[in-house]
Amino acid sequence: MKTYTTHLSYLPSVFRTNASYNRWDEARKFWGLNINHTRDLNRMATAWYGNDSSPGSASAPKQIAKAIDPAEREYLLGQVSLFTWAFVRSMKRHLSPPDEDEEDYIAELKSRLSPEQADAIISATHRPNRALFDLSVAIEKLPMHFMRKNEINKNLSIFEDTLGGSERLLSSPVPLFYSRHTARFISIWLLFLPFALYGQFGDSWNHIMMIPASLLISVFLFGIEELATQLEEPFTILPMQGFCDKIGANCDEIVSWAGQDVYKIPDEVIEQMEMERPELEMKSNLALLGGEVEEDVVEEPKKKRKILKKLLRIGEGI
């Protein structure tokens, strides 16, 4: 009987600990996605800034070479970085207890955003959604092809998913009766544990060693119970403020790299591509109209590959 009850006492603790850890692990993965995709968003915005061509277009070199106003670029990319940070910071505040860091949150937003921007987010009913909206507007203002903006906006959809998943964990805690039942079961089992250990410590004086053994087992079991209780609410133990600070620093660093690209396309290569494009476009249009397609049109992919190889060789020598 003692063996049966011993094994039975472990089951509630194991089940509850596993369920609680799964909640913590899911919350941590949501924040991991936030960290990864905030970097991805700002990297693409910085690298593609000023490129009005579609990805893979033959006109890309010309568009990249266009003059860019450094001050305007710094401001627009800075807005993307700031609203990226504002979203994760608002998400952290949204998932925290009501009055945990309200004052710090308001102070941080007012110190980094303009008064109008900060007030718009603070006064919103759902602050993370407002921050995401402002981030969408900042991305829309970037001078680049709409297909590139679509790629950047895919990260915002992932932010919505991580926010919704976190809200699901926050609004759906472990049922209270499950936690209470586990605690009662362990308490009753530990209450009768000394009777089971009484005969095992018959060699000690007056069975005195039964007391520290019972205390030690109780500490371990109640420790597991407390661990499960803490893991049930993952947003109270995750270092979300540290995540927000890390994201803000990473985004600011990434957008500061604008204009520091090492690879420059030489002017003579751009001119060569510009000279070949009208002829290729004319032959392509003739083919669409049902005319005879010359052999050069078929060889167009080969020409592009040769040009790309030349670009790579020149780039390696820079």
Per-residue pLDDT tens for 222-242? 887 877 778 888 998 999 999
Distance CA 127, CA 277 (A): 49
* Average pLDDT score, the chain: 81
User: Is 303 a residue whose pLDDT tops 90?
Assistant: no
pLDDT digits (tens, 9 = 90+) for 164-209: 999 999 998 877 777 777 788 888 888 888 887 777 777 777 778 8
Comparing 105 with 67, the larger pLDDT belongs to 105
Cα torsion 40, 43, 45, 47: sign: negative
What pLDDT is recorded for position 259? 74
Cα torsion 250, 254, 255, 260: sign: positive
User: Is 280 a residue whose pLDDT tops 70?
Assistant: no
Average pLDDT for 58-72: 62
Residue 134 neighbours by CB under 8 Å, 6+ apart? 83, 86, 117, 120, 121
Q: Quick one: pLDDT band at residue 62, thresholds 50, 70, 90?
A: very low
What pLDDT is recorded for position 149? 94
Q: What is the DSSP string of 247-259?
A: HHHHHHHHHTTTT
Comparing 74 with 289, the larger pLDDT belongs to 74
What pLDDT is recorded for position 307? 59
What pLDDT is recorded for position 60? 46
- SS3 category, 215: helix
When mean pLDDT is compared across 140-144, 151-155, 268-272, the lowest value belongs to 268-272
Q: What is the share, in percent, of the chain residues with pLDDT greater than 70?
A: 74
What pLDDT is recorded for position 267? 67
pLDDT digits (tens, 9 = 90+) for 79-101: 999 999 999 999 999 999 888 88
Q: Quick one: pLDDT band at residue 61, thresholds 50, 70, 90?
A: very low
Q: Quick one: pLDDT band at residue 65, thresholds 50, 70, 90?
A: very low
DSSP type of residue 32:
H
Average pLDDT for 111-120: 95
Residues counted in the chain: 318
What pLDDT is recorded for position 298? 46
Q: Which two tokens stand for residue 54?
A: 């579609």
Report CA-CA distances (Å) from 175 to 51, 95, 178, 225, 232. Answer: 53, 19, 5, 15, 10
